[in-house]
Chains A and B, each alone.
Chain A
Amino acid sequence: MAAASTRYILICSGKGGVGKTTLTANLGIALAKQGARTAVLDADFGLRNLDLLLGLENRIVYTAQEVLSESCRLEQALVKHKQEPNLALLPAGNPRMLEWLQPEDMQKIAAMLGEHFDYVLIDAPAGIEGGFKNAMAAAREAIVVTTPEVSAVRDADRVIGLLNSEGVKPIQLVLNRVRPKMMANQEMLAVSDVTDILALPLLGLVLEDEQVIVSTNRGEPLTLNGNGSPAARAYTNVARRLQGEDVPLIDPSKERQGIRATIGRLMQTKLF
């Protein structure tokens, strides 16, 4: 595939801890499995973690820093995933890079990656300051990750405002850590509440899933070993939708079965 068709996708949220890095790792593996040559770029120089979630932390020799200072070639810094060789990580450099890194530097790195990959996924730092703006400069489109909580949605809204003003598009939404039971009890913002408020198309819906934690313990993203858990299926489906496949979204209220779920649905009936 020619460099012109490479997709540069920023994965961002505003608020920290909502699941950006987890999504980047799982999406990277899923895309690679589907045959796309995929690079994941850790743009969170302050608090890098992408290497750890991918289980690649012990194989890092060079980082984006050495690539930029031309003390190594891009190929030397890229860490290829053993099980999924279509996936490579470009690790973040030393946190002190934040002092001199400019948006142009990130654009340069992204352009270099674009020569070799179909997808460049950029794991953005939290916040809306310099680090985020650097990461945004490398992207053409964006996935905004949020959870159904007021603070996360508010911060997502801020980020969407910045993405809009920079002309980054399309912007799509991944709603993470959805708890069907709480939603059924109307103790959590509904999916439509969040999509209405943020006015973004929904690219994926990821349930709260303990297996996410187990997978981070091991450094093996859920999408690596089949689709055994709800979150694994969700991440795989996000990848398929990105590739243009029409995969229906899950309905959180149908994720629960039994009499309690039926009552929960009944209670949600709109009367007037």
Chain B
Amino acid sequence: MTLRDVINKLLGRQPASANTAKERLQLVLAHDRSDLNPELLQQMRREILEVVSRYVEIDLEEGDVTLETEDRVTALVANLPIRRAKLPPPPAEAAPALEANANS
């Protein structure tokens, strides 16, 4: 955050538009580059949530699956806050990494 941003905030002004431009661009380019259509992305999002919530209880309000891009590499980023692990423990083929991340 720059001095200008702070002053704008204090005066209740809109933030400078360059930042907005950058954020909007990054978002739209992540989609352009991945060539995923929004419908497919939505479906993937639903299925990911479905799988994950089989093992842990996740905060659906806070959770998000988005595309992000850096250096022309697009990544699917899932940010899924875990409320608690589900009991009984998942079947043998479950990915252990998910449990390790649980902060309950």
Residues of A within 8 A of B (CB): 149-150, 153-154, 157-158, 160-161, 164, 183, 185-190, 193, 197, 199, 266-272
Contact of B32 with A157 in the complex, beta carbons under 8 Å: yes
Cβ 8 A contact of A189, one of B6, B22, B29, B32: B22
Instruction: List the 9 closest pairs (A to B, CB-CB), nearest first.
Output: A186-B16, A267-B4, A186-B18, A199-B72, A193-B22, A199-B71, A269-B3, A267-B3, A150-B21
Cβ 8 A contact of A186, one of B19, B29, B71, B72: B19
Q: Which residues of B contact A188 (CB under 8 A)?
A: 18
Q: Which residues of A contact B72 (CB under 8 A)?
A: 160, 164, 199
- Least CB distance, B30 to chain A, in whole angstroms: 10
Q: Which residues of B contact A153 (CB under 8 A)?
A: 25
Q: Which residues of B contact A149 (CB under 8 A)?
A: 21
Q: Which residues of A contact B2 (CB under 8 A)?
A: 186, 267-271
Cβ 8 A contact of A157, one of B16, B18, B29, B71: B29
- Least CB distance, B91 to chain A, in whole angstroms: 42
B24 to A, closest residue via Cβ? A150
Give 1 or 0 for each of B20-36: 1 = CB within 8 Å of chain A CB: 01101110110011000
Contact of A197 with B3 in the complex, beta carbons under 8 Å: no
A270 to B, closest residue via Cβ? B2
Cβ 8 A contact of B1, one of A187, A190, A271: A271
B7 proximal to A (CB < 8 A): yes
In whole angstroms, how far apart are the Cα atoms of A197 and B77 in the complex?
18
Chain B, interface size category, equals 20 to 34
For chain B, residues 18 to 59, give those with C-beta under 8 angstroms from any C-beta of chain A: 18-19, 21-22, 24-26, 28-29, 32-33
Write 24 A-B pairs (CB below 8 A) sorted by A numbering.
A150-B24, A154-B32, A157-B29, A157-B32, A157-B33, A183-B18, A185-B4, A186-B16, A186-B19, A187-B17, A187-B18, A188-B18, A190-B18, A193-B22, A197-B22, A199-B71, A199-B72, A266-B3, A267-B2, A267-B7, A269-B2, A270-B2, A271-B1, A271-B6
B4 to A, closest residue via Cβ? A267
In whole angstroms, how far apart are the Cα atoms of A252 and B16 in the complex?
18
Given A186-B19, A189-B22, are A154 and B28 neighbors across the interface (CB < 8 Å)? yes
- Least CB distance, A195 to chain B, in whole angstroms: 11
For chain B, residues 71 to 104, give those with C-beta under 8 angstroms from any C-beta of chain A: 71-72
Q: Which residues of A contact B24 (CB under 8 A)?
A: 150
In whole angstroms, how far apart are the Cα atoms of A150 and B23 in the complex?
10
A188 to B, closest residue via Cβ? B18
Q: Which residues of B contact A267 (CB under 8 A)?
A: 2-4, 7
Q: Which residues of A contact B6 (CB under 8 A)?
A: 271
Of A150, A161, A187, A188, the most chain B CB neighbours within 10 A belong to A150
A149 to B, closest residue via Cβ? B21
Q: Which residues of A contact B26 (CB under 8 A)?
A: 197
